Amino acid sequence: MKLEAKVDGSAAKFEVNGARLRYERNGQAVEREYSIAALAPGSYSVLIEGRSYSVISVEGAIRVNGRPFAVEIFDPRQMRGRGAGAFGEGRRSIASPMPGKVVRVLVSAGETVEAGQGLVVVEAMKMQNEMKSPKAGKVVEVKAKADATVQAGEVLVVIE
Amino acid sequence: MFRKVLVANRGEIAVRIIRALREFGISSVAVYSDADRASLAVRMADEAAHLGPAPSSESYLRIDKIIDAAKRHGAEAIHPGYGFLSENAEFAEACAAAGIVFIGPPPSAIRRMGSKTAARQVAIAAGAPVVPGTKEPLGEIEEAKRIAGEIGYPVLLKASAGGGGKGMRRVDREADLESALRDARSEALRAFRNDEVYVEKLVLEPRHIEIQVLGDHHGHMIHLGERECSIQRRHQKVIEECPSPVMLAHPELREKMGAAALKIARAAGYANAGTMEFLVDRDRNFYFLEMNTRLQVEHPVTELATSLDLVHWQLRIAAGEPLTIRQEDVQWRGSAIECRIYAEDPANNYLPSPGKITYLEQPSGPGIRLDSGVYQGWTVPLDYDPMLAKMAVWAPSREAAIERMRRALGEYVVEGIRTNIAWFDGILADECFRAGELSTAFLDRFKPPAAEAADLETEAVAVLIASLKEAKTPAPAPAKSSAWLAIGRAEMMR
């Protein structure tokens, strides 16, 4: 089975065939015999020619002997043209970088803001974090509500 | 001894105290807010009492609710842990009024040592050194010159109403004093609408070293030596050790600082466990800063180095037993280091990272002590301090303890939330840290080492595991049956 991957931002090729694997990145390749044991959900032991690797893979985060890797896998058979992002001309969403509670909303829809101006204050674990506007513009939408709980990545304000 | 004790805290310290209670055959009562219903402390305790909603102000800080829970459960004593109500004299008094023993110092000692300025006065009266300076606002320039001259340069001008570095000026020589004073005053006026400025000695690159004291209610008190707590970020300790590297080279400093700490504690009428914090300069002059009238977060390093159990002694002392250890019985053996494990993201400005722990592997083996308040599947609430656990190690030497800590951190896996576990390795590998050259400015200058490039084989392993989910989608023509395919398919069935 042949796959394409992106590892820490670099394109790579990966192939597994029976007990052998082949991995290639930037013109360099390794070809090895491997063995895998699945230990517990998300936990694996991999042996490659007698060298032991402990791997934790939870919700897309992969750690090999403690070292984190960002890995994306593409199956070339299923690859389709990927369109550009949904973000149009200069619209920017400001999202919460952490789960927390909205302490204060500092702007309202229709208001013009400067680059660096505070928009919303989110608090988690006794630490307050002020989300600032990445650019000068107009507040299109305020989704954040004071005292509401927000998840990481949840959009708080949209600036245009 | 008590038969039942309520633990008025949460997280790892509640677990720590419940363990000590069990070792003494004492029943434990945990308390919990809505966010902590499923906490490890509640699971481990014999009994548990609900306090209220998640915010501390409606739960762990509610004196009335905690006293009420203690009465309902028939607890004879309350251990406050650290933080929350542990240094609240009103709480200690409320316990006494309800006929419940507060496991800590007398309320009068909490009050006396609770305010920085009052504690400074107690220390001065007891003849212990404090950072030289006034605290009284400076008057005319001639007076400022006289006082600064007496203290000795460099000095620091500070705004009386101040904070955050506003109205603060370092002055290295008398010639610069007048303009610095003018600048500090105008800055203070703008920032705080108050132009009062005082002067104190600037302690250059100080170490933060504290002394543990332990006293009974029969007039006997000892010190258990120091903890070096210089590795701090935003005034929050992250690594602590006992002994301090400076005491390893200069053992007489422990005797001097221990004697000073005991003088202050006696003057305050102190009993039970407490800690005196000091600044220590490069010439090993030390200055009293403040007292913590409670069990300290980093108490495990003292316990590992002295083989004494501070929580056991807190319980025995509160129950009225005499402290049977003499000063000359206290011995320090080997080296202990502690790392505070926080739910935060060092790669993203240390933003807090609450959430569910989806995977957890904890270190073990020789010399490891893990005081943790979490388990796999626990959701770390966003309402409280981000500390998950304290990992402490003991080894015969400081060098061996550092390597043991690096080994243990390598075994520690927490997934689902971000932690600072991997961040410690760069500090522990740092030459200055290993040489014991520490100061509270250490982390300001510290640059984490760049991650080494992974070798191709390790990357291949990462991709091998990441691609298992591709094996779940039935491939039209699998080349050969493989372990990869078998495991990938098996996981699909789960």
What is the predicted pLDDT for the residue at B475?
A: 47
CB-based contact B382 A7, cutoff 8 Å: no
Topology at the third CATH level for domain B4-103: Rossmann fold (3.40.50)
Question: Residue B465 is nearest to which of A3, A28, A57, comparing CB atoms?
Answer: A57
Give dist(CA B218, CA B196) in Å, integer: 45
> How much is the mean pLDDT over chain A?
85
What is the predicted pLDDT for the residue at A87?
A: 39
Nearest to B420 by CA among B390, B440, B379, B399: B390
**Dihedral pair phi/psi, residue B367, rounded to 5°:** 75, 15
What is the predicted pLDDT for the residue at A78?
A: 62
CB-based contact B463 A55, cutoff 8 Å: no
Segments in chain B below pLDDT 70: 162-165, 472-481, 492-494
Cβ pair A119, A94 in contact under 8 A: yes
| B243: preceding bond cis by omega (within 30 degrees) | yes
Per CB-CB distance under 8 Å, the chain B contacts of A57 are 465-466, 468
Using the structure block, give the residue that is written with the tokens 């595991």.
B465
Find all residues with CB under 8 Å of B164, minimum gap 6, and list them. Answer: none
Tokens matching residue B138: 């400076």
How many CA atoms does the CB half-sphere of B52 hold within 13 Å? 14
Q: Where in chain B is the domain with CATH 3.40.50.20?
A: 4-103
The SS3 assignment for B447 reads: coil
Q: Where in chain B is the domain with CATH 3.30.1490.20?
A: 141-201
pLDDT digits (tens, 9 = 90+) for B444-456: 999 888 877 889 9
Helices (H) and strands (E) in chain A, counts: 0, 17
Nearest to B224 by CA among B296, B320, B283: B296
Per CB-CB distance under 8 Å, the chain B contacts of A50 are none
Topology at the third CATH level for domain A2-77: Glycoprotein, Type 4 Pilin (3.30.700)
CB-based contact B460 A32, cutoff 8 Å: yes
Helices (H) and strands (E) in chain B, counts: 19, 22
Tokens matching residue B442: 């250490």
What is the predicted pLDDT for the residue at B311?
A: 98
Closest CA of chain A from B455, distance in Å: 10
Nearest to B8 by CA among B60, B83, B62, B72: B60
Lowest mean pLDDT, pick from A143-147, A150-154, B278-282, B344-348: A150-154
What is the predicted pLDDT for the residue at A88?
A: 39
Give dist(CA A144, CA A120) in Å, integer: 8
Using the structure block, give the residue that is written with the tokens 């080349």.
B479
What is the predicted pLDDT for the residue at A132?
A: 85
> How many A×B Cβ pairs under 8 Å?
169
Question: Residue A16 is nearest to which of B351, B384, B482, comparing CB atoms?
Answer: B482
Give dist(CA B468, CA B491) in Å, integer: 9
Dihedral sign for Cα atoms in the order B277, B86, B22, B363: negative
Question: Residue A129 is nearest to which of B351, B462, B487, comparing CB atoms?
Answer: B351
The residue type found at A58 is V
Cβ pair B85, B248 in contact under 8 A: no
The residue type found at A108 is S
Asked if pLDDT for residue A84 goes beyond 50, the answer is: no
Find all residues with CB under 8 Å of A82, minimum gap 6, and list them. Answer: none
Per CB-CB distance under 8 Å, the chain A contacts of B480 are 17-18
CATH class of A92-159: mainly beta
Regarding an ipTM greater than 0.90, the answer is no
Nearest to B94 by CA among B83, B110, B73: B110
Give dist(CA B378, CA B358) in Å, integer: 8
Tokens matching residue B488: 């990938």
CB-based contact A66 B422, cutoff 8 Å: yes
Tokens matching residue A45: 């032991």
Whether A3 and chain B come into contact, CB under 8 Å, resolves to: yes
Mean pLDDT along residues A1-18 = 90
CB-based contact B459 A23, cutoff 8 Å: yes
Model-level pTM?
A: 0.85
How many residues in total does chain B contain? 494
Q: Quick one: CA torsion of B410, B412, B418, B420, rounded to 10 degrees?
A: -60
For B485, name the nearest residue in chain A, comparing CA atoms only. Answer: A18
What is the predicted pLDDT for the residue at B493?
A: 65
CB-based contact A56 B415, cutoff 8 Å: yes
Residue-range domain boundaries for chain A: 2-77, 92-159
CB-based contact B483 A35, cutoff 8 Å: yes
Most B CBs within 10 Å, among A64, A73, A75, to test the B interface = A64
Mean pLDDT along residues A4-21 = 91
Catalytic site positions of B? 294
Asked if pLDDT for residue A100 goes beyond 70, the answer is: yes
**Dihedral pair phi/psi, residue B3, rounded to 5°:** -100, -30
CATH class of B207-445: alpha beta
Q: Distance from CA of residue B42 to its chain's centroid? A: 23
The SS3 assignment for B109 reads: helix
Q: How far is CA B100 from CA B7, B67, B96, B284, B319, in A?
A: 13, 8, 5, 43, 11
Per CB-CB distance under 8 Å, the chain B contacts of A33 are none
Tokens matching residue B249: 């080279």
How many residues in total does chain A contain? 160
Find all residues with CB under 8 Å of B474, minimum gap 6, and list them. Answer: none
Which secondary structure element, helix H or strand E, spans residue B423, and what is its range? helix B423-429
What CATH number is given for B141-201 in this structure?
A: 3.30.1490.20
Whether A129 and chain B come into contact, CB under 8 Å, resolves to: yes
Cβ pair B113, B270 in contact under 8 A: yes
Give dist(CA B446, CA B433) in Å, integer: 10
What is the predicted pLDDT for the residue at B477?
A: 46
CB burial of B197-210 (b: ≥16 within 10 Å; e: otherwise) equals: bbbbbbbeebbbbb
pLDDT digits (tens, 9 = 90+) for B261-309: 999 999 999 999 999 999 999 999 999 999 999 999 999 999 999 999 9
